[in-house]
Structure 1
Amino acid sequence: MKKFILLLASAMTFAQNAKPMPTILFTNKDKNLNGGCYRIPSLITAQDGTLIAVADQRLNGCGDLKYNDDINIVARRSTDGGKTWSDIESIVDFPKGESASDASMVLNKKTGDIILFYNYMDLKNEKDIFKQHYVISHDNGKTWSKSYDITRQIAPENSYKDFKFITSGRATQAPDGTIYQTLVDLQKKGVFIFYSKNNGVSWNLLTGSVQPADETNIVALPNGNILLNARVAGLGSRKIYEFAPNGKLLRDEVVRALPDPACNGAILDYQVGKQNLLFFSNANDSKKRKNMTIKYSTDNGNTWSQGKVLNPGFSAYSSLAQLDNNDLGILYEVNDYGDIAFSYLPIDWVLSQSVK
């Protein structure tokens, strides 16, 4: 604790005031889109330190999964902490008529593998039937496996035709190795937690429907509990739920310190030695998608810092990652969905904010 207090003091004393500058990784000016767009960021650091930035490549239009029959999952990789990036690479690319969307990733710290979840629809043969898949990389994001369909394992009963989807961004891994992620079912007006205890070989549901909730970020706490940070329509703030590993609900509260315009955000568990923080990014406004802000918590999400603003203008979805050198990276939507940008966030800059 003493070391952590010194870290905070150092950050408050020496942090530079200069706002981190964005680098555009995906732009709708890309002529190959044919009038489409890039959306839905997901960011992760591989075991070897490689940064992997992932997005939907929506061709011939910008509609969501059920409205666009040609959405692919693509990536750019950086091996130098976000200074330079590879060209755009394909991860999931089905023939026209089938679409993949809403990527979320998790690093399995036990194996070094990266699991990438996404939602799938065959608009030619099964329009409006949402399915859930994943692919896996064994080489830090250079190559990816075939797709695995896990819909029957994680979907709640009587949900075959429901509007259901895995939350984009990132999943989480508990200290015991269990991997957790969230599945939203809008017909049931809630979110479900699903998990794997065998590195993704099989999956199970942990909870019944948690309500109200839409896209829901998930993070495993150091004590093994699971924290949900949920988007809720019309609320104007985030909602937090905390569960024990056995699925027992421990906390259910509206967090007015986290204003939100009903937009997906990002939560990250940050660990350096025995220090544990939570970071949260979102469009920090109760009504409009604007004001991309990052906050932190030192007490498992009970209280939050004032916030550092990255972009006061239009901002939407975001994804956070802890970099190899323990600074942060953020991938976020800007310019009226025209671009997806990456910003390198020095940890001292992020921590140089007051705590409410």
Structure 2
Amino acid sequence: MKKHCKFFLIILFSASTAYSCFSQTTNTLFDTEVSKDSSLTSTPFYAGMNGYYAFRIPTIIKTKNTLIAFAEGRKNSTSDFGDIDIVYRRSTNKGKTWQAMQVLYDLDTMAVQNPVPIYVKKQNKIVFLFNTTSMSEHDILNKDYELKDERMAFMTSTLDEGLTWAPIKNITRSVKKEYWRWHAFGPVHGIELNYGKHKGRLVVPIANSIEKGKKAYCMALIYSDNSGKTWQIGAEDNNLSDDIQANETTIAELPDGRIYVNTRDQHGGSPEKNRGEVFSSDGGESFDTTITETDKFPSPVVQSALLSWHGEKELLLFSTPSTFNKRENLIIMSSKDNSKTWQTLFKVHKGSAAYSDLVQLDQNLLGVIYETDDYKKIRFSRIPIE
């Protein structure tokens, strides 16, 4: 461990993983395995489970007493298009074990995608957003289609920690402009703001495209000031002339009340710069500047996740694969200065690793859910922080 690490982080997990604390990302990050212990790792979803070919796109949220992991249950392949359901599993012991899998929404042979849970603390409520589509991403981006065939946006909620869910509500016209072609929530947990005049506001990132063509990706934020009952579009990135083709985006609130926005650069604006970042100082209603291409992160072109850590220290955490041109070697990074600088704190998984999400389980326990084993498994690791 480097002496300048302010606290000690221990990860105990399966045979292909280890624990460590680092000051920077290097090619030798995963050269040494230190400890192997499966007691803090579980596998909430795996290929073949309940008849599904594969599970992808994990997200996770914690209520007062329950942890809920969501995923896309893909019936016939790992493809992003086809017969896809939203499924979930509940845990009442912080992810040690999981209750039986439940199907949240199944729309026959259509794709139900992009799970985004948001926790409303005062009500112990989960608001849940997702998309549906009858067309592939390629066709949505490049072909003409009728409005009835557009990607649609829906929401539901639960007040009993996922035991029952409210009727599904179509919110497409509130969160998607008609000329937007592609539209995708997250996929990652959304946030409730804790500071400033917008305290209590729910904010969710979306990916969209604003004209025909595969290079028309942009992103935006949507928000709700009534605990998810109604939604509106806030900050928008409509710039197709910059270096960033913003796609899947993750957000976190900073201690000063600003929202930090970190986005996947879909087409990799330049070598070793596959992320973009920007801030919002008005609760997600607008961006302070244009999105800036950044080389702070060792990410390939992939979804990643942010988390505001509230413990003895306030930290900004970021989970990502750590090989520029391949989805492998999942790490968690941290920033103590609102994203001016980042350090690699520890490695989560050596080998195949892709989409992920983060959750704070308590004052001393972090959780990370992630795809691994070439999309055959979705694992959950609990990380004690001392």
Shift of 1:226: 1.3
Shift of 1:47: 2.1
Shift of 1:58: 0.9
Does the alignment pair 1:86 with 2:99?
A: yes
Shift of 1:250: 4.6
SS of the residue 2:303 aligns to: coil
The answer to whether the Cα contact below 8 Å between 1:243 and 1:251 also exists between their aligned partners in 2 is no
Aligned to 2:227, which of 190, 199, 204?
199
Relative distance call for 1:19 and 1:325 in structure 2 (3 A) is farther
Return the alpha-carbon distance in structure 2 between the equivalents of residues 8 and 191 of structure 1. 35
SS of the residue 1:218 aligns to: strand
Corresponding letter in the other structure for 1:168:
P
CA-to-aligned-CA distance 1:172-208 (integer Å, 9 cap, x gap):
1112011111121134421011101111121111122
CA-to-aligned-CA distance 1:17-43 (integer Å, 9 cap, x gap):
53664322211133612xx21110001
Gaps of 5+ in 2: 11-18, 21-33, 136-145
SS of the residue 1:153 aligns to: helix
Q: 2:55 maps to what in 1?
A: 38
Does the alignment pair 1:102 with 2:114?
A: yes
Q: 1:215 maps to what in 2?
A: 248
Gaps of 5+ in 1: 1-6, 349-356
SS of the residue 2:174 aligns to: helix
Return the alpha-carbon distance in structure 2 between the equivalents of residues 111 and 73 of structure 1. 24
Does the alignment pair 1:269 with 2:321?
A: no
Q: 1:234 maps to what in 2?
A: 268
SS of the residue 1:249 aligns to: coil
Return the alpha-carbon distance in structure 2 between the equivalents of residues 262 and 128 of structure 1. 28
Return the alpha-carbon distance in structure 2 between the equivalents of residues 347 and 180 of structure 1. 28
Corresponding letter in the other structure for 1:177:
G
Q: 1:306 maps to what in 2?
A: 344
Return the alpha-carbon distance in structure 2 between the equivalents of residues 330 and 114 of structure 1. 19
Size of the aligned set, in residue pairs, is 331
Q: 2:129 maps to what in 1?
A: 117
Return the alpha-carbon distance in structure 2 between the equivalents of residues 347 and 12 of structure 1. 5
The answer to whether the Cα contact below 8 Å between 1:174 and 1:221 also exists between their aligned partners in 2 is no
Shift of 1:325: 4.7
The answer to whether the Cα contact below 8 Å between 1:20 and 1:310 also exists between their aligned partners in 2 is no
Return the alpha-carbon distance in structure 1 between the equivalents of residues 287 and 42 of structure 2. 42
CA-to-aligned-CA distance 1:213-253 (integer Å, 9 cap, x gap):
11010112222211111100224332111111141415743
Q: 1:333 maps to what in 2?
A: 371
Return the alpha-carbon distance in structure 2 between the equivalents of residues 248 and 314 of structure 1. 34
Q: 2:77 maps to what in 1?
A: 61
Relative distance call for 1:314 and 1:276 in structure 2 (3 A) is same
Relative distance call for 1:127 and 1:284 in structure 2 (3 A) is farther
Shift of 1:115: 1.0
The answer to whether the Cα contact below 8 Å between 2:78 and 2:375 also exists between their aligned partners in 1 is no
Return the alpha-carbon distance in structure 1 between the equivalents of residues 50 and 234 of structure 2. 44
Cα RMSD (Å) of the superposition? 2.5
Shift of 1:330: 0.8
Return the alpha-carbon distance in structure 2 between the equivalents of residues 128 and 244 of structure 1. 36
Does the alignment pair 1:145 with 2:166?
A: yes
Shift of 1:114: 0.5
Q: 2:26 maps to what in 1?
A: none
Relative distance call for 1:221 and 1:321 in structure 2 (3 A) is same
Aligned to 1:296, which of 312, 322, 334?
334
Return the alpha-carbon distance in structure 2 between the equivalents of residues 318 and 294 of structure 1. 10
Corresponding letter in the other structure for 2:347:
V
> Identity over the aligned pairs, expressed in percent?
29
Does the alignment pair 1:11 with 2:8?
A: yes
